A and B are shown apart, each in its own frame.
Chain A
């Protein structure tokens, strides 16, 4: 279908700091014991997209990611792993690999996206409107545990975070305004020209830019070339394109005009004009055409279309770009969105690997995962948590709403709430952790209590 797919796998994100490390770049963070990147790749594979470019920031990360991909997808996908410098941003990453891009349209997917929205839907919307950019919007995740169970009243305090402020036209197909990043907190400034052209704008704060875009390649490359200062697709390129859609500065539609004026015969040009007018009149006009056509002026206003595809509520779509999101996604993948994980759940709605050993009177609740070779002592209780490979967990341990990665040792009597414990960490006896992150290889001393801390080796 003439689409090229670029997966931006990132490097070691600062947002996720104690969790990611040189060995475990963001793309390889385990979500239900699978690297997060695998969710993207498999979703793409489902859509029959098998030629991918994976862009990784940093040499080390690239080696790790590349190694993992070639192991896991050796005969299924054709993946090129491209390395770019760190801190170049998403726009910079695309700029760096621009010479690899040849197809008409580029599908850019963030590597940290966990979703089940068919990418085809986005591409179809893009093609249908012949848009310059189409972005996928999904309902903004409500962070924090949503179950009103043991987590108590804590989640009621949390307000749903605002990710983006998005303006849509009444048909909900075109993107009229987008505020990202820091702009979200500021006053909303909407362009008069766009508002006048559309007449009516719907402003939504409950949608999130999912960082899955379809770009027209020519436009994307031109924007990247001309605007050197653009760092991020989300914060720079997309808002720029949306802003300038009625007074397009990109030249893509200017080129054919000059050709027409010079070479072609007047008669055939007339015919073409008639044909295009028939087409324009027959098709449902978007506000772009209306605004330019209504003036009746002879000069063609240069416009481009920015479309939005809004994923339906029933679809799952979240980005793993914060620690909170990490635990949320882990919880969802083994809970509400369990179809994503690809595992088959037991009758108790959990997964316990056959090689895992449980002590007496140990309970593993629903929405839990206990993976290969892990051992648990007596009288333990696990609720809505993921426990990785070869963990050794003593007796009388409570693990609730937490993620425990591989090779973690947890001593007797520990209590872990809403925390993330990275690989090879060690929790000595009676450690109490609440909303903490424990970095790889960190040792939590016996009897210590931590709340909302980030514990990592210095």
Chain B
């Protein structure tokens, strides 16, 4: 690791955040009080440039307000007190200038008229849309953002680290390092170089290439963490190319004295090690798979005909797992029944959907904690953490965890680790159970409420809303809007093999909404009449990529082509600092047989005898990644934000629950 890092001799320094070219020097005075503000790229750059959706364009009279707003407080970062701001109130959590009531609300009625009405006439074309966007750009960004967003004219030092994709900047002038507001980011260089170098090779999709991609992702992820570096560290040792500086820890108090730097460093190193995510298992690595199998609780016989490109993802013979696990019901002594039950439900597919899986897992852990008693000569903190870890690995065997679940587990473990030593066992257990309850309430239930309140403002009378699959928060939005008496129509787009939309359709029709049901093959036909697209999401990544049920990207792209705004509804606990460029590196493979079999239709199972053929491979992908340029807005519990603001949320609030 160190050797490799040493090659990137010149660490990059970047200015991040919103600033005009002249502005930066004004920052230092603030830097000390809240470092995070000044050293962050709240909006990544490139996607916004060419694809700002109509939703985001404020009407002109608001424009000046907005600009002023931005100019004065350039960063969409709340005041420090807001870190722990309760999230109950509905209009809370306005992130930066994206004040929903001000800019978005006002913008929505006119938004439809210029662009998407044109669509109706079939008159749209690449030419016209581009022109329109250009106009919007000049209108909105010319004054305030020219520095940040104009790729050609901007100085390299001012571009954010999030040029990752479009414009890798490898070397930086050294003197830039001294800037107080700068963050040392050697990591990003690695990420950049590897990702940029592998890009052209994409078609080949060799193993090495995938490795490299992942490498890049990992680096980028670490880089995302870099955002949280505290000034206490970065200013006291501005730029030494020590490995210790390269990845950094969650911010300790910024008032660390320089004198005990050594000790701090060591503890930080420890923290950092903990923080570095273990490299995800590559399932095309034979020896590792063997090792993992030995540990596994669930008997996993790997599927034989796997698609070459997706060999690195786990795929098992689906038929064999469940009976085997069932048969071992009584043998698994250390497994708590509640955990076992949830694992079984994951495996059997009885529970699906990010929120539900997360809640089920948390509730199972709650049971575990209630029934837990510390074994003699062990400490609760350590033993319980180990236990939870073993349960988590069991869950992973049943079904790969979603990213939101990863966040949740991190939360729980940090709560366990932070338990005061003075707590008795019963106190500790009660406090953990309360924490879990609070997490469910605040991060899921209340977050959903806030999202609903925000999203409902986007639903107008006469709207035609399209949704894909079955997202619980979108469903709640639709039902709430219906309760409010809004007149709108819903188009539910669905896809084989899960057909989750049917259940949603059933519930919506039962509640009296007028619905249209169609499959994803027809999405381009139905899109003509749609005015808004509401989509759920499994996770939103820090480059704005929306990781969601497979097909979402397709729907979003079609909507984009038709100039229909795409609104992603996603709770903030699902945000993840990872960066994903495609849906190959990280994905989940479903039961391949589900593709070839149609339940209840024996007569059309044409593939029945083909499944064992060597030259046939079935690919049932579960997720896909929607690039951020196809997303108009993400509705989250901190407000309505553009996808480019996701890193802000991750950075500012991502560790919120770790601080409580």
Residues of A within 8 A of B (CB): 1-3, 47-49, 118-121, 123-125, 127-128, 130, 170, 268, 271, 274-275, 278-279, 281-285, 293-294, 296, 312
- Determine if A271 and B441 form an interchain contact, defined as CB atoms under 8 angstroms apart: yes
Main secondary structure of the interface of B (DSSP, over half): helix
Question: With a CB–CB cut-off of 8 A, which chain A residues contact B288?
Answer: none
Nearest residue, chain A, Cβ from B348: A128
Residues of B within 8 A of A (CB): 323, 325-333, 335, 337, 340-341, 344-345, 348-353, 355-357, 359-360, 440-441, 444-446, 448, 470, 472, 475, 503-504, 506-507, 510-511, 600
Question: With a CB–CB cut-off of 8 A, which chain A residues contact B359?
Answer: 275, 278-279
- Determine if A124 and B351 form an interchain contact, defined as CB atoms under 8 angstroms apart: no
CA distance A293 to B506 in the complex (A): 11
- Determine if B351 and A279 form an interchain contact, defined as CB atoms under 8 angstroms apart: yes
CA distance A293 to B508 in the complex (A): 12
Nearest residue, chain B, Cβ from A170: B600
Nearest residue, chain B, Cβ from A118: B327
CA distance A87 to B293 in the complex (A): 52
Known: A120-B327, A279-B360. A271 touches B445 (CB 8 A): yes
- Determine if B510 and A127 form an interchain contact, defined as CB atoms under 8 angstroms apart: no
Question: With a CB–CB cut-off of 8 A, which chain A residues contact B329?
Answer: 1, 47, 118-121, 123-124, 127
Cβ-defined partner of A120 (8 Å) among B330, B337, B349: B330
A216 CB to nearest B CB, Å: 13
- Determine if B445 and A274 form an interchain contact, defined as CB atoms under 8 angstroms apart: yes
Question: With a CB–CB cut-off of 8 A, which chain A residues contact B351?
Answer: 279, 282-283
CA distance A396 to B350 in the complex (A): 64
Question: With a CB–CB cut-off of 8 A, which chain B residues contact A279?
Answer: 351, 356, 359-360
The A/B interface has a contact count, at CB < 8 Å, of: 104
Question: Could you list 15 A-B pairs, sorted by A, with CB under 8 Å?
Answer: A1-B332, A2-B337, A3-B330, A47-B330, A120-B326, A124-B340, A127-B329, A128-B345, A170-B600, A271-B440, A278-B444, A281-B470, A281-B503, A293-B510, A294-B510
CA distance A1 to B330 in the complex (A): 7
CA distance A172 to B251 in the complex (A): 54
**New A-B contacts (13) at CB < 8 Å, excluding given A281-B470, A281-B507, A284-B352:** A48-B331, A120-B327, A121-B323, A121-B329, A123-B329, A127-B329, A127-B337, A127-B344, A128-B348, A278-B353, A278-B359, A282-B351, A283-B350
A142 CB to nearest B CB, Å: 24
Question: With a CB–CB cut-off of 8 A, which chain B residues contact A120?
Answer: 326-331
- Determine if A278 and B341 form an interchain contact, defined as CB atoms under 8 angstroms apart: no
Question: With a CB–CB cut-off of 8 A, which chain B residues contact A1?
Answer: 329-330, 332, 335, 337, 340
Of listed A48, A170, A278, A283, residue having the most chain B CB within 10 A: A278
- Determine if A282 and B445 form an interchain contact, defined as CB atoms under 8 angstroms apart: no
- Determine if B441 and A118 form an interchain contact, defined as CB atoms under 8 angstroms apart: no
- Determine if A127 and B340 form an interchain contact, defined as CB atoms under 8 angstroms apart: yes
- Determine if B331 and A284 form an interchain contact, defined as CB atoms under 8 angstroms apart: no
B39 CB to nearest A CB, Å: 37
Question: With a CB–CB cut-off of 8 A, which chain B residues contact A118?
Answer: 326-329
Question: With a CB–CB cut-off of 8 A, which chain A residues contact B337?
Answer: 1-2, 127
- Determine if B326 and A121 form an interchain contact, defined as CB atoms under 8 angstroms apart: yes
CA distance A197 to B351 in the complex (A): 22
Question: With a CB–CB cut-off of 8 A, which chain B residues contact A294?
Answer: 506, 510
Known: A47-B331, A271-B441. A282 touches B352 (CB 8 A): yes
The 5 closest A-B pairs by CB, nearest first: A120-B329, A282-B356, A282-B353, A118-B327, A124-B326
Cβ-defined partner of A127 (8 Å) among B328, B341, B353, B472: B341
- Determine if B345 and A283 form an interchain contact, defined as CB atoms under 8 angstroms apart: yes
B570 CB to nearest A CB, Å: 14
CA distance A283 to B357 in the complex (A): 9
Question: With a CB–CB cut-off of 8 A, which chain A residues contact B360?
Answer: 279
Nearest residue, chain B, Cβ from A121: B326
Cβ-defined partner of A284 (8 Å) among B349, B504, B506: B349
Cβ-defined partner of B448 (8 Å) among A124, A268, A274, A285: A274
